[in-house]
Amino acid sequence: MKFKKSLAKVVAAVSLAFAGFVAVNTVNTQNNTVQAASKTSQSNKVVSLAKKQVGKRYVYGATGPNAFDCSGLTSYVYSHAIGKYISRTTYGQVYQGKTVKVSTASLKKGDLLFWGSKSSPYHVGIYVGGGQYVHAATPSQGVRKQYLSSYFWPSTAKRII
């Protein structure tokens, strides 16, 4: 009789522990899903606002809303799309966020792309998906969207979101 009571207690304890484990994992999974959805929403807002700038003028030192230089565009888009303030300069931006591999398989919408070395970047743009990015190119080209393959491959990518 004592054995049956002890066995029943052990089974009950294991069942409760398992139920608690499942409940905790369910909550963690739901939190991760919500965080991923939030990041996707933020990335989409960044991409949408970046694309709306295409066709605007390039002016060195300009920070929008009617003209931009490359880092002025990226800082403007991040602050106005999602309220995230990043450095005003390309050099400052390359030190922000998480470094990610520069490949179309690794890049996510909203990642910042840099040309030049990490210690001396000379250009920045925003990855918008599909192998394309938006950037304030030159005074003659303005803000444009183009394929990664149409220019030198970026040397560094940073995930801000």
Closest CA to 147 of 123, 129, 121, 122: 129
Cβ-contact 128, 134 below 8 angstroms: yes
Among this protein's residues, is 135 annotated catalytic? yes
**Active site residue: 45, 56, 109, 135, which one?**
135
| The one catalytic residue among 47, 50, 70, 77 | 70
Q: What angle, rounded to 10 degrees, do the helices at 2-52 and 70-82 form?
A: 130
CA dihedral 104, 108, 112, 115 (to 10 degrees): -10
> Annotated catalytic, 80?
no
* Number of residues in the chain: 161
Point out the residues that are catalytic. 70, 123, 135
